[in-house]
A and B are shown apart, each in its own frame.
Chain A
Amino acid sequence: AQSVAQPEDQVNVAEGNPLTVKCTYSVSGNPYLFWYVQYPNRGLQFLLKYITGDNLVKGSYGFEAEFNKSQTSFHLKKPSALVSDSALYFCAVRDDADSSYKLIFGSGTRLLVRP
């Protein structure tokens, strides 16, 4: 069965410092991995995805994520956090064996960047 774990309910970081939001996954086939961000009273916005190829994926707003197959992880990172990055972040996985291409989401991690 497919699953995603985001072990931290909340991550706190000071503005200008690097940030990491953790994600691990479990799928039976090959994983397609995604990060989405949700601002208050808004839908989910796509940040980046890993399909194949380079393990380091760059996305919107200066975010990047590293795919690590041996550790089944896909942590989201940013070198220098902004207060405006404060939001709810979701990691999601799609199993290439699933023909519906539905996403399985983690429980979300709230990022709080303090000035």
Chain B
Amino acid sequence: GAGVSQSPSNKVTEKGKDVELRCDPISGHTALYWYRQSLGQGLEFLIYFQGNSAPDKSGLPSDRFSAERTGGSVSTLTIQRTQQEDSAVYLCASRLEPGRALNEQFFGPGTRLTVL
């Protein structure tokens, strides 16, 4: 399909392990966002990519969280030494052109992360 895809759909890990979450944006979308949806915090912004650079990382909750984007396409969100409070649904979104403010973001189905 032509939408945003994310993998895996579900991830269960043990406390202290590292995890990688993947996002494939809509082809041609140069802006990419990661959000986190959790019971206690609602929907929170994590990081914004324009191309391969991340001019806004203000939402990353700690230095255990990092993200990269390669080739202006796929992005990976990495959480090191996972904690139980990291359990949430991680949503990725893409937008057509960052310079055109009128365009809405399109969201993927999310990755549900459970840290035991």
Contacts and interface: CB of A to CB of B under 8 A. Distances in A.
Interface in A14-30: none
Main secondary structure of the interface of A (DSSP, over half): loop
Interface residues of A, number: 24
A94 B101 contact: yes
Contacts of A34: 104
Interface in B20-47: 31, 33, 35, 42-45
Given A32-B101, A43-B91, A43-B109, A102 B33 contact: yes
Contacts of B108: 43
Interface string B76-102: 000000000000000101010010011
Contacts of A99: 55-56
- What is the predominant secondary structure among interface residues of chain B facing chain A? strand
A44 B33 CA distance: 13
Given A42-B109, A43-B108, A43-B109, A101 B43 contact: no
Given A96-B101, A100-B48, A44 B42 contact: no
Contacts of B44: 105
Given A100-B56, A101-B95, A51 B106 contact: no
A51 B45 contact: no
B104 A102 contact: no
